[in-house]
Amino acid sequence: MNFDANFDPESLPDVPLERRPKHIAVIMDGNGRWAQQRKLPRIEGHRLGVEAVRRTMEACQGLGIQALTLYCLSSENWKRPQEELDFLMHLLKAYLIAERSNLAARNLQLRIIGRRDRMPEEVQHEMDRTIEACQKNTSMTLCLAINYGSRSEIVDAMRAIASRVQAGQLQIDEIDEVDIDQHLYTVGLPEPDLLIRTSGEMRISNFLLWQISYAELWVTETHWPDFGREHLEMAIREFANRQRRFGGLC
C-alpha cells in the first residue's frame, strides 16, 4: 500500500502501524433494527448505513489500513421483501455514481466480490464504471461483497480448479492451499486479520470462511448506522493487544 495525503501518521498514536490490521472485514449488521427502534421504515436504516460506509472507509484510510471489505448483501438476503431489495439496488447504484469521484480523488481502489448474475444490468454497469475509474489507484482497497456467499465462492473456486485439471493444466495431487487462494474472489488481497461485526450478533453468516481462518473477531452491540471512528479505533486497539498464536504456543 502506498500512503498518500489521506493517511494521518499522527492518528492512533498508542498503536504502532505494524500492530494494526492490514485488512479489516466488516459484517455490517443492524440497519433494520436501528430503524425499527426509531419507528422508521427499514430503508431509512439502509440509507444511514451508507454514511457509516463512508465514515469507516475514510477512517480506515487515515489509519493506514491496506484493505477494507464490507459485507453489503449476502446471497441469502434475496429472501427479503422485494420492496426492500429494490431499494437496496437503487441505493447501491446511487452510491456507485455518487462515490465515483470521491474514490478517485482519495486514490482508492474498488473491488466488488460475489455473483453478479442476480443484480440489475444498470447496477452492473455502474459497478464496472466505478471499478474502471479506480483501477489505477494505489492507496487502500475498498472491497464490497455484494450477492456474496462464502460457500458459493468456494464452489466457484473448485469449479475453476476442476476445469484446469480437466484441461491437463494441473494435477490433482498438486492442488494445495495456494491454488485455492488464487481462485477465490479475494485473490491478491491480504487475508483479513480483523473481523468486525456490528449489532451484537455472534455468528459469521457465510462471510469469507476460508479467508478469516486466523482473523481476530470483534463484536459490538452498536448498530451499523451508528458505527463511527471511535468504534473502529476501539477494535484496532483491542486487536493490537491480542497475542496471535496462529496455532502455536505462547
**CA 17 to CA 152: how far, in whole Å?**
34
Q: What are the beta bridge partners of residue 143?
A: 69, 111
Catalytic pick among 2, 4, 14, 29: 29
Cα-based distances in Å from 235 to 25, 229, 238: 12, 10, 5
Q: Is-catalytic flag, 173? A: no
Catalytic pick among 6, 77, 179, 181: 77
Q: Which long-range contacts (CB under 8 A, 24 or more apart) does 122-127 make?
A: 122/93, 123/89, 123/92, 123/93, 123/96, 126/93, 126/96, 126/97, 127/96
Q: Are strands 216-219 and 67-74 parallel, antiparallel or unpaired?
A: unpaired
Cα-based distances in Å from 167 to 160, 170, 171, 175: 11, 8, 10, 14
If you search the block for the grid coordinates 498438486, which residue do you land on? 174
Instruction: Provide the CA 218 distance to its chain's centre, in angstroms.
Output: 15
Q: Is-catalytic flag, 14? A: no
Burial group, residue 65, by CB count within 10 angstroms (0-12, 13-18, 19+) = buried
**CA 7 to CA 200: how far, in whole Å?**
30
The three grid cell numbers given for residue 17, joined into one nine-digit string: 502501524
If you search the block for the grid coordinates 484493505, which residue do you land on? 67
Catalytic site residues? 29, 77
